[in-house]
Amino acid sequence: MKHLLTLSYLGTAYSGFQVQPNTKTVQAALQFAATKIFDTPCGITGCSRTDSGVHANEYLAVVEEHGKASIPESAVARAMNTYLPKDISVFRCISVPDDFKIRHEVEGKEYLYLVWNHPCRNPFLSDRALYYPRKLDIEAMRKAIPYFVGKHDFRAFMASGSDIADTVRTITDLRIEAEADTVKIYVSADGFLYNMVRIIVGTLLEMSEGKISAERLEKAIETGERSLAGRTAPAEGLYLNRVFLNPHALNREENSRA
Amino acid sequence: MKHLLTLSYLGTAYSGFQVQPNTKTVQAALQFAATKIFDTPCGITGCSRTDSGVHANEYLAVVEEHGKASIPESAVARAMNTYLPKDISVFRCISVPDDFKIRHEVEGKEYLYLVWNHPCRNPFLSDRALYYPRKLDIEAMRKAIPYFVGKHDFRAFMASGSDIADTVRTITDLRIEAEADTVKIYVSADGFLYNMVRIIVGTLLEMSEGKISAERLEKAIETGERSLAGRTAPAEGLYLNRVFLNPHALNREENSRA
């Protein structure tokens, strides 16, 4: 049996989603809880890797289990939560076909980057937003939007050391919302390179600071030169915000039966 | 010299505001930071005690110092923050007359009680809201408002063991706002008895649960019988939200000079 879970987590205490030896990960916590409630070893597959300290408002993961216990679908979320720590919570569970492969069905994702833009720290947002004391120039940052949106080679916006061959991605939306002392940067794309959102945000900050011009940004995208893009913004402000599944992913079984 | 600080803090890690031996308190953290920046031992007086685990969106405290260093008023907040932990932040500092006594000048306070009202936990609100899985009956809770608002003897809404003689207080406002999965309860009064807001919130929850009727609430207020009121809601959802100072408090010195 395969189950698709929708969950949220505060990533502060975790070394990212994916299991690694000798460190806390979200995947390991889910594996532990699923194994408890289905009373059998369970495999967990996530929709995305997230880095150490990155949060998720919406994350999708698949549990594969061959347990004898049959737990009603509606009870899985709350049962999982009894075995999960307080910083991870499952909100929904639906059954999916046995051949459901989450990585094949994800068509895009939206990340949110949260900035606390005030001269004084916000004690409620430490480890949950970038604390940026200088007033951001939102208009200067918005000038970047038309350069980023669209299908481009984003090699310049990838952490050095990555060995991915195809660095072309399509950013479908980039939005900057400023309200009171909070700035929210939303980036949607069909896929993301390693550290791509954090480097985009770092570039936007340097545009606000007058260090990167629109011309330089254009050149960064054209040449793929990492040094032309901005710094890597810290993980603490980053949230996986939404996951866009193939709209047919969840009714394929019914279709094939019809 | 006396300085009036406006600060916020996340109370999770603290045994309340007031200094106590062998435990972390907000007052001790402020004393440490003030002593560092004014380079002399400093006294700190708070506007209110808050309990262990209670938060403050707005808290007022007075620093009294006799240091030789003269720090511009505008620099005090940021200087304090360099010596404060991430869960306490000073937002403003103004100088006040030497005879300024914060406890005399506070005319009222507003508390906020935050409830996460959803079947599944919110990982971003653990220790920051009460997690209440059953759907709250907001209309049933709002029936309590006319009984609470006004000048009453609130003895029934005070933790047992308190030895305060005068238990009459005036609640100037009680408001319940429900939006999506969050319920916010605001209570303003000229003063609060020990655990008063938490017992009011516990009573509202029991009205939602059908355990306490409007008649019983009326009788609790009339008789002062603690057992007629509701349970004490946990500290984690409680925020000191605003402090109402005497409007003349901050210009009394100028007045007396005039």
pLDDT per position as a tens digit, A6-45: 999 999 999 999 999 999 999 999 999 999 999 898 999 9
- Over residues B40-61, mean pLDDT: 95
pLDDT at residue B200 above 50? yes
B240: which strand partners?
B56, B111
Would you place residue B252 in the very low, low, confident or very high pLDDT band (cuts 50, 70, 90)?
low
Residue count of chain B: 258
- The chain B residue lying nearest A123, using CA atoms, is B87
CB atoms within 10 A of CB A29: 22
ipTM rounded to 2 decimals: 0.93
Please give the helix or strand (H or E) that residue B115 lies within, else none.
strand B106-116
pLDDT at residue A254 above 60? no
- Over residues A114-129, mean pLDDT: 97
Query: A200: Cβ–Cβ under 8 A, 6 or more apart, which residues?
Result: A148, A157, A174, A185, A187
pLDDT at residue B254 above 90? no
pLDDT in tens, B103-129: 999 999 999 999 999 999 999 999 999
Query: To the nearest whole angstrom, how far is the Cα of A57 from the nearest Cα of chain B?
Result: 9
* pLDDT computed for residue A234 by the predictor: 98
Query: Is B122 in Cβ contact with A89 (below 8 Å)?
Result: yes
Q: Residues of A with CB below 8 A from B112's CB?
A: none
Least confident of A81-85, A89-93, B145-149, B249-253: B249-253
Q: Looking at the whole model, is its pTM more than 0.90?
A: yes
Place of tokens 């007022």: B60
Least confident of A137-141, A195-199, B76-80: B76-80
pLDDT at residue B144 above 90? yes
Query: A183: Cβ–Cβ under 8 A, 6 or more apart, which residues?
Result: A114, A115, A117, A132, A136, A138, A176, A177
* pLDDT computed for residue A257 by the predictor: 43
Query: Is A81 in Cβ contact with B10 (below 8 Å)?
Result: no
Q: Residues of B with CB below 8 A from A91's CB?
A: 120
Q: Residues of B with CB below 8 A from A90's CB?
A: 120
Long-range interactions of B160-168: CB distance < 8 A, separation 24+: B160/B226, B162/B193, B162/B194, B164/B193, B164/B194, B167/B193, B167/B224
pLDDT in tens, A48-101: 988 999 999 999 999 999 877 778 888 999 999 999 999 999 999 999 999 999
- The chain A residue lying nearest B131, using CA atoms, is A86
